[in-house]
Amino acid sequence: MKLNKIIIGVTGNTGSGKTTVCKILKNLGFYTIDCDILAHTVMLPNKPAYIRVVDVFGAEILSSTGEIDRKKLGAIVFADQNKRTLLESIAHPAVIDSALGEAASAEAKYVAIDAVLLVESGLHHHCNAVWLVTADEEERLARILARDALSQEAAQARMRNQRDTIHIAKLASEVITNNGDLETLQRQVKNAIQKLQANEV
């Protein structure tokens, strides 16, 4: 579904700064959508994804209040790649539909979608541009430690579990390297917007 919008899909591994890029875009007038939030929303009770997930994985993944217990579900899918793929086949279409619906209703012409699994979910097919945000491992580790109050071992384990972004870089219209300060990142974002707007003409 192509909308009468300019949609930028922003992706990157944890600690890369993709969410910071989206905050910069929001300050510059973009409407921003966070797919992490949508992924929680589409699995709330009585939402279509909720019904399918409970049907597939069983009532044992529910909390005492009837909501999906994400820790219980996570323990199942991260131990079994086939079950993880099955969950993604349910959740991704629901998140994409929700993101595109929200983008369509936005008043702004420019929309930025923050999505870790932008390419893996197929959401990038609905975007006018794909921006990959990267950073050196040391930078990413320092940011994760400062942000998430994890031990160094837990932070490094989280980083190891993330995908390689080489194939995404080949698809990306812009690769933003975020190893510097906020001012440097803002400058890169503004330059990328100029390129995007120039291509519209």
115 & 101 share domain: no
82 & 23 share domain: no
92-119 in b/e form (b: 16+ CB < 10 A) is bbbbbebbbeebeebeeebbbbbbbbbb
Q: 8 with 126: CB under 8 angstroms? A: no
130 & 198 share domain: yes
For 145-190, the pLDDT digits (tens) are 888 777 888 778 777 777 788 889 999 999 999 999 999 999 999 9
Q: 178 with 135: CB under 8 angstroms? A: yes
Distance CA 41, CA 25 (A): 23
20 & 83 share domain: no
For 84-136, the pLDDT digits (tens) are 899 999 999 999 999 999 999 999 999 999 999 999 999 999 999 999 999 99
127 & 154 share domain: yes
43 & 58 share domain: yes
Distance CA 138, CA 140 (A): 5
Q: What is the CATH number of the domain that holds 45?
A: 3.40.50.300
The number of folded domains in the chain is 2
51 & 98 share domain: yes
116 & 196 share domain: yes
Domain boundary pick from 56, 89, 107: 107
Q: What is the pTM of this model?
A: 0.88
134 & 186 share domain: yes
100 & 146 share domain: no
- 154 in helix, strand or coil? helix
172 & 121 share domain: yes
| Amino acid sitting at position 158 | R
Q: Strands, E, within 92-153: which ranges?
A: 110-114, 129-134
Helix%, strand%, coil% for the chain, nearest 5: 55, 15, 30
Domain boundary pick from 107, 139, 154: 107
Q: In this structure, how many other beta carbons lie within 10 angstroms of the beta carbon of residue 2? A: 10
Domain boundary pick from 107, 128, 156: 107
- Is the pLDDT at 2 greater than 60? The verdict is no
Q: Which domain holds residue 21?
A: 1-30+110-201
User: Averaged over 75-89, what is the pLDDT?
Assistant: 88
49 & 141 share domain: no
- Give strand pairing partners of 89: none
Task: Please give the angle made by the CA atoms of 36, 81 and 157, to the nearest 5 degrees.
Answer: 65
- Can you give the pLDDT at residue 117? 92
